[in-house]
Structure formats: C-alpha cells, structure tokens
C-alpha cells in the first residue's frame, strides 16, 4: 500500500511538474511574442514619425522654392519692364529680329 501511495504521489507530483514546465514554456513563448510585438509597434511608430517629419520638411522646402521662384520671376519681369521702358526702340528691334528668325526657320524647314 505504501508503494502505491508513493507511486501515486510521484505521478501526481510529476504531472504537476509537467504542467508547471509547460506553463513556463508557454509563458516564455508568450513573453517573447509580446516583446517582439512591442518592438514591432515601436519600430512602426518611429518609422511613422520619421515619415511625417520628412513629409513636412519636403512640403516646407517646396513652399520655400515656390515663394523664391515667384519672387525671382517678379524681379525678372520688373527688370525687363524697366529695360523695355528705357530702350523701347531696342525692344521693337529685338522683337522684329526674333520674328524674322522664326520665319526663316519655318521656311527653311519646309524646303527640306
């Protein structure tokens, strides 16, 4: 009878040890999976923040380039207008020369 009790107790303790070992393995797996998931979410958040910063920086650069381009265009038109006002005959001669060059190129390309 003592042998049966010892054997039964040993089996009972062995079963408990197996359950504890299984739970420990499962806990270790769950912990590793949780850590991996947390690392993924952190990396995703960092990537999202970097993308938002890069997009914002690109938009600011594009806005600055547009403003600078408009300012330079305005200055160029102003300078051209002043030159045309100071030398109107030169402007008419340049327009005539440009028209003659375009006509010469158009006629020359039709003859070929």
Residue with tokens 């806005």: 63
Contact 91, 84 (CB under 8 A): yes
| Whole-number Å distance between alpha carbons of 103 and 112 | 15
pLDDT band at residue 80 under the 50/70/90 scheme: confident
| Whole-number Å distance between alpha carbons of 12 and 5 | 10
Predicted pLDDT of residue 99: 92
Cβ neighbors of 60 (< 8 A, separation 6 or more) are: none
% of the chain exceeding 90 in pLDDT: 28
Residue 96, token pair as written in the block: 């005539």
Note the pLDDT tens digit of each residue in 91-102.
Answer: 889 889 999 999
């Amino acid at each position: 009878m003592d042998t049966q009790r010892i054997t039964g107790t040993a089996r009972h303790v062995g079963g408990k040890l197996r359950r504890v070992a299984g739970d420990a393995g499962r806990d270790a797996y769950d912990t590793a999976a949780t850590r991996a998931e947390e690392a993924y979410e952190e990396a995703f958040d960092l990537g999202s923040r970097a993308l938002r910063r890069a997009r914002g920086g690109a938009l600011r650069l594009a806005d600055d380039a547009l403003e600078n381009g408009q300012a330079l265009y305005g200055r160029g038109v102003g300078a051209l207008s002043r030159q045309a006002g100071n030398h109107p005959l030169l402007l008419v001669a340049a327009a005539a020369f440009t028209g003659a060059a375009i006509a010469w190129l158009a006629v020359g390309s039709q003859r070929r």
